[in-house]
Amino acid sequence: MYVKISTMRTALFPGSFDPFTIGHYEVLESALKIFDKVIVAVGYNSAKKGFFAPQTRVEIIKQATAHLPNVEVCSYSGLTIDACRNLGASVIVRGLRTTADFEMESVIAQANTKLAPEISTVFLPACGEYSFVSSTIVRDVLIHKGDVSQFLPKGVQIEKFYTGE
């Protein structure tokens, strides 16, 4: 007996993306080489105050990925595994910059596997050129009126989203 398996492989790339950096974009490009569709999902935690509002983060990511037809962008709250189920994703993509990232992400992946064994996690390393870039660095440069363009995907005009307040 054969079981029909969907040929469409959808992955969820979750994160706070506060803001979406060139490193995030590079991991997304890697994921698109593996999966038919990648949903970039901005996680929303009401207990945390982000630098940019979740909808602003979604808009920044849409700006960065407008030319990529196999990318969707959304926001979600709650468990990432529930977002996967709701959006039809069977894989979670996580980018890694350092071994510390791996240690933290590995624990989260193990918990997710316990809660949702049907959902896998894939780790994709950031390329060395962008491994130092973090949202924290981008925010700090932006706050101090520095040029953040080299840390952002091409075409992203983050200044229009930041009022300096």
Q: Give me the active site residues, please.
A: 24, 48, 97, 135
Instruction: List the strands of the sheet with 37-44, edge to edge.
Output: 71-77, 37-44, 10-15, 91-96, 120-125
Residue 129 one-letter amino acid: E
DSSP state string for the chain: ------S--EEEEEE--TT--HHHHHHHHHHHHH-SEEEEEEEE-TTS--SS-HHHHHHHHHHHHTT-TTEEEEEEES-HHHHHHHHT--EEEEEESSHHHHHHHHHHHHHHHHH-TT-EEEEEEPPGGGTT--HHHHHHHHHTT---GGGS-TT--GGGG----
Query: Residue 128 is encoded by which pair of tokens?
Result: 């060395």
